[in-house]
Structure 1
């Protein structure tokens, strides 16, 4: 039960996700207060960390629009560890993100 948890934030439309795709992204403190808020998009591990952080910590759709990119999100989606309720909400809104049976078996 999510009685005390913050609300889930899901994009209205994946085409609105037009975040930076190269270089370094620095997340604002409301998204990343870890002290390590700089993400090199050329580093596979850091880009996964960035997407996971933004998906979990977003407080409004504009956070998603500003920092996520549709093509990268779609590519990373199967490998992102996300809370099950957040993953389910995104996949309910965007069924194309769901793993196929063959992807789930291979994972």
Structure 2
């Protein structure tokens, strides 16, 4: 009996997002300051260089990486401390599936949003 169909029907529709997440938020060891140049597979339209000392640019970079990044991008460009610090504002700019997936994997993000 093939149960593959019923198994996949039970998976959340954002399972592809969860597959790219690191196992621990501590794996997010990206830069805390300075300028970051995103590769074209992430920033294919518009701004590609982001000054992390400018909060609006930092939030833009994080939105792009959280939404479109592969596992390698997440750990290279995101910083755990900055993500926690800016999560209350950042989560508003993310789609529900991305926000829900990140908060389910890392409860400290949901706690930061509630604070």
Residue of structure 1 in register with 2:100 after alignment: 88
Runs of 4+ with deviation above 3 angstroms? none
Q: Secondary structure at the match of 2:16?
A: coil
Is 5-14 or 22-31 further displaced after alignment? 5-14
Count, aligned residues: 98
Q: 1:6 to 1:35 in 2, by over 3 A?
A: farther
Please give the TM-score of this superposition, normalised by the length of structure 1: 0.83
Gaps (5+ residues) in structure 2? Answer: 1-11
Please give the TM-score of this superposition, normalised by the length of structure 2: 0.78
The whole-number CA distance in structure 2 between the counterparts of 1:34 and 1:43 is 20
Gaps (5+ residues) in structure 1? Answer: none
More helix by share: 2
Q: What is the RMSD computed on CA atoms of the aligned residues?
A: 1.9
Q: 1:45 to 1:15 in 2, by over 3 A?
A: same
Looking at CA atoms only, which structure, 1 or 2, has the larger radius of gyration?
2
Residue of structure 1 in register with 2:9 after alignment: none
Residue of structure 1 in register with 2:61 after alignment: 50
Residue of structure 2 in register with 1:63 after alignment: 73
CA shift, 1:6, in A, is: 9.4
The whole-number CA distance in structure 2 between the counterparts of 1:79 and 1:7 is 24
The whole-number CA distance in structure 2 between the counterparts of 1:52 and 1:62 is 16
